[in-house]
Amino acid sequence: MADGPCFARQLGRCRGVCVGAEPTLIHDLRLSVALAALRLRSWPFPGRIGLREGAPDGDGEGFAEVHVFDRWRWCGSARDPAALAAAWTAAPADFDLDTYKILLRALERGGRSDWVEPPPGTRD
């Protein structure tokens, strides 16, 4: 422990673990509960997924746009089979919290019909 209370204690925002007024175990438990709400979900798929945005073209063969993701990271978007193959094999972008939240909401509300299979000749 430091000599004296922390700044947060001086402002009335600390329960006193810094000066022994709150047991460390209670503080750590409270911290764990608070951080649990911020924990990211595990990636629920064995590899990359493609998520269709929009309806298929009029002939039902094409698609408006497919976004490819790997472990919550965006890999690219495509509007045709060649671009989809490129996005499927592209290196994923760095993790972005906003992308995570948007993708999580899309997966929670959408059905499996919006998912796109890997293009032929590609692998995860």
pLDDT of 96 reads 95
Check: CB of residue 100 under 8 Å from CB of residue 93.
no
Of 71, 83, 69, 82, whose CA–CA distance to 115 is shortest?
69
In angstroms, the CA 90 to CA 41 distance is: 23
Q: What pLDDT is stored for residue 113 in this prediction?
A: 64
- Written as tens digits, the pLDDT of the chain (124 aa) is 557 898 988 898 889 888 989 999 999 998 899 898 888 999 998 889 998 887 655 555 555 789 999 999 999 999 888 999 999 999 999 999 999 999 998 888 876 667 777 877 776 5
Q: For the chain, what percentages of helix, strand and coil (3-state, to nearest 5) are there?
A: 35, 15, 50
In 4-122, the DSSP E strands lie at 49-53, 65-70, 73-78, 115-116
Q: Coil, strand or helix: which one is 76? A: strand
pTM above 0.75, yes or no: no
Q: Do you know the residue count of the chain?
A: 124
